Amino acid sequence: SVYHVFESVAKKYDIMNDSMSLGIHRLWKDTLLHQMNPYPGTQLLDVAGGTETNAGDIAFRFINYIRSQWDHQIRQKLKSHQNLSWQEISKSYQQEENELPGGSQVVVCDINKEMLKIGKQKAQHLGYSEGLSWVVGNAEELPFIDNKFDVYTIAFGIRNVTHIDQALQEAYRVLKPGGRFLCLEFSQVNNPLISRLYDLYSFQVIPVLGEIIAGDWKSYQYLVESIRCFPAQEEFKAMIEDTGFLKVEYQNLTSGIVAIHSGFKL
């Protein structure tokens, strides 16, 4: 089962992630944030947030991004000699203590409560607490009101959802009009040479690595299979369009090993 897989690999997942993707998974997530380009005030829902060691990866990046945007705004104002009163300056410091800039909020929702618990502890250690909530929930049946969020992200989580169309419908429902759907997921490689290397890598190397590092060959085989079974770029784009999203696009990263799909609720 999906849950068993996560339980059995969780503790060594970070090492595996880094060796499997050669640390590139961090760049993929950074790219997701740059595409999102959130502004202070954005309400984010991050679904199927990952595993115990990845917990909160997207949320923390989002918070960093918003904070640096805010700092940049303040610095720009100072540079252009706009009248920034002492009240405004002190307010900008106050905001960082009590809430995220602009009243931004992040909700991390995942089916795995252990993952969320660890994510929450991690957040407290790293100083990300305000404006960040953790909710155990199912992507196919979200416990949120309609039209709530500006952005919905799902990073390396949708391929493990049983009914992808239901997850997409729920994403549509909870997004505000004008809101954006963003999915970062393994996809199909578009270059024949790289494709062969990737096949070799995923069917030969990864299970062996899985056995050596995590001692769990079967779980990694399952992961590799789930990547293989997930629809290719165009097919997934069509599914997103069928849900009702508009201006649906995708961007291939690393020759299509991974893709970011984006759509808007308009």
Partner 1 sequence: RRASGGQKGREQQQLFDSALLQFLVCPLSKKPLRYEESTNELINQELGIAYPITDGIPNMIPQAARMIDRKIQDEESKKT
What distance in Å separates the CA atoms of residue 222 and residue 205, rounded to the nearest whole number? 14
Name the token pair of 142: 């979200």
CB of 39 closer than 8 Å to CB of 102: yes
Q: How many CA atoms lie within 13 A of 101 on its CB side?
A: 19
From candidates 67, 122, 148, 176, binder to partner 1 by CB under 8 A: 148
Q: Which stretch binds partner 1 (CB under 8 A): 51-59, 88-96, 135-143, 202-210?
A: 135-143
Annotated binding site for S-adenosyl-L-methionine, which residues?
51, 110, 138-139
Quick check: 135 binds partner 1 (CB under 8 A)?
A: yes
Annotated binding site, which residues?
51, 110, 138-139
Q: How many residues bind partner 1 (CB under 8 A)?
A: 18
Nearer residue to partner 1 within complex by CB, 131 or 263: 131
What distance in Å separates the CA atoms of residue 24 and residue 198, rounded to the nearest whole number? 14
What distance in Å separates the CA atoms of residue 32 and residue 155, rounded to the nearest whole number? 9
User: Which sign does the torsion angle of CA 116, 120, 121, 126 carry?
Assistant: positive
Quick check: 2 binds partner 1 (CB under 8 A)?
A: no
From candidates 83, 146, 192, 193, binder to partner 1 by CB under 8 A: 146
From candidates 117, 169, 251, 255, binder to partner 1 by CB under 8 A: 117
Q: Which stretch binds partner 1 (CB under 8 A): 59-67, 133-141, 211-219, 232-240?
A: 133-141
What distance in Å separates the CA atoms of residue 264 and residue 246, rounded to the nearest whole number? 5
From candidates 60, 65, 70, 134, binder to partner 1 by CB under 8 A: 134
From candidates 8, 73, 138, 226, binder to partner 1 by CB under 8 A: 138
Question: 251 has which bridge partners?
Answer: 260
SS (H, E, C) 190-251: CCHHHHHHHHHHHHHHHHHHHHHHHCCHHHHHHHHHHHHHCCCHHHHHHHHHHHCCEEEEEE
Nearer residue to partner 1 within complex by CB, 168 or 257: 168
Quick check: 143 binds partner 1 (CB under 8 A)?
A: yes
Nearer residue to partner 1 within complex by CB, 77 or 176: 176
From candidates 55, 58, 116, 223, binder to partner 1 by CB under 8 A: 116
What distance in Å separates the CA atoms of residue 160 and residue 223, rounded to the nearest whole number? 9
Q: Is 39 strand, coil or helix?
A: coil
Residues that bind partner 1 (CB under 8 A): 111, 113, 116-117, 120, 133-138, 141-146, 148
